[in-house]
Amino acid sequence: MPTILVIDDNPAVALALEVLFSLRDLRTVRAETPQAGLAVLAREPIDVVIQDMNFRADTTSGEDGVALFRAIRARLPELPVILLTAWTQLASAVELVKAGAADYLAKPWDDDKLLTTVHNLVELSETRRELARRRADESRRRTELEQAYDLRGAVFADPAMERVIALACQVARADVPVLITGPNGAGKEKIAEIVQANSAVRGGPFVTLNCGALPSELIEAELFGAEVGAYTGASRAREGKFESADGGTLFLDEIGNLSPGGQMKLLRVLETGRFERLGSNREQQVQVRVISATNADLRAMIRAGTFREDLYYRLNTIEIRVPPLAERVDDILPLAQLFLAPGKRLGSDARDALRRHPWPGNVRELKNALQRAQLLAPAPELTAADLALQAVAPAVADEELDRPAIEAALGRAGGVIAQAAAALGLSRQALYRRMDKLGIPRE
């Protein structure tokens, strides 16, 4: 039952309030002096305080009521306080409302208004307590994760990211392929590192390959190695990523960019553990855990015939989706603090601007924004103006983009595909497709 503390030295007033609240199933605790009221607050939980503004017969200034309010505020800054005031103390009550009091009511009060105000404040107190409980639970779970697992320095505060990291830790021990999905710059590689660091092969190598950073004719050589003369320019034998990752983990980023031939060979390795270098007919055997990542819709690619369905199910024994930064708002400020140089801090308007921005480029965009602001801003405190966050245009379907629009975006981004794609509201793969269709060179 919600509890109301009435601090008033007039027994008739306290009794009237107690009777009024009992009709609404509200428990009342009475205290006749400020000291007694503070003692109650020290020993039991209270939802709302109603306090008089004057406790001495020889004064009408309300100074003792002001002192009481400030004492409550110092000890319990979130506790709602309603002030009961005579007209002579009205100015003091108004000043206390500005200082954080929930409301003030002049004597004699309106019962309906008082009950409505108390009811709203009780709900507010319950909401705050529930929020505090959830935050305590989240903090406890984060601490337990940090103590039980190697999180590779991951910074997170949002429950959405906590669930992702908890799942990564949970599946790490299982020797099965993991597919990590999510937008570019959201932290997929960090999740792969966490899986590796808590796996049975954590002492082995952790080898990475970005399948989107290489021409398709070179990806297979990177994966499986190549003998001399296997392709134009192959002047010496080279070891592939699978050989390098033997006894450990191979992380394949942007797996959706793998060529059809590479997909077929990767499927065979996942099924048998055996492969051949390009230009060789000698099989090699490896023991490698494969973690892959993509920002593409692989199911749509399967329907379009550009990604093998059997490979998809081999890679996707466990899927971990990393949400975009816009879906984990509580991570924004902790990550921003991570990217601040010593001696730099965020002003309140900068913090507000960071939380409001949609971050189409995710954590990578946040890091770049902080680095740029710190280079250009002379003062130790960064402002919203220093961050210079630009409004993001609504996403445009790639079929609607013409050559001038894409070339203009590429020009503004200095040719950086990821930045141009984010400005156009597209994935990098969607921009590449549109560029290829329009005959715009990728270089």
pLDDT computed for residue 65 by the predictor: 83
pLDDT computed for residue 401 by the predictor: 64
pLDDT computed for residue 249 by the predictor: 95
Mean pLDDT of 369-385: 93
CA distance linking residue 171 with residue 164, whole number of Å? 11
For residue 335, the SS3 value is helix
**Predicted confidence (pLDDT) per residue in 50-77, tens digit:** 999 888 655 555 678 889 999 999 999 9
pLDDT of 397 over the 50 cut: no
Buried b (16+ CB within 10 A) or exposed e, 407-438: eebbeebeeebbbbbbbbbbbbbbbbebbeee
357 — pLDDT class (breaks 50, 70, 90)? very high
* Residues in CB range of 143: below 8 A, 6 or more apart: none
Q: Which residue has the higher pLDDT, 240 or 195?
A: 195
**Predicted confidence (pLDDT) per residue in 15-64, tens digit:** 999 999 998 899 999 999 999 999 999 999 999 999 998 886 555 556 78
**Predicted confidence (pLDDT) per residue in 107-129, tens digit:** 888 899 899 999 999 988 888 88
> Tell me, what amino acid is at 199?
S
Domains and CATH numbers, the chain: 3-128 (3.40.50.2300), 150-321 (3.40.50.300), 325-387 (1.10.8.60), 398-438 (no CATH)
Mean pLDDT is lowest, of 18-27, 67-76, 224-233, 340-349, for 224-233
**Predicted confidence (pLDDT) per residue in 422-438, tens digit:** 667 676 767 877 887 77
pLDDT computed for residue 437 by the predictor: 76
CA distance linking residue 232 with residue 213, whole number of Å? 19
* Residues in CB range of 344: below 8 A, 6 or more apart: 374, 380, 381, 382
pLDDT of 193 over the 90 cut: yes
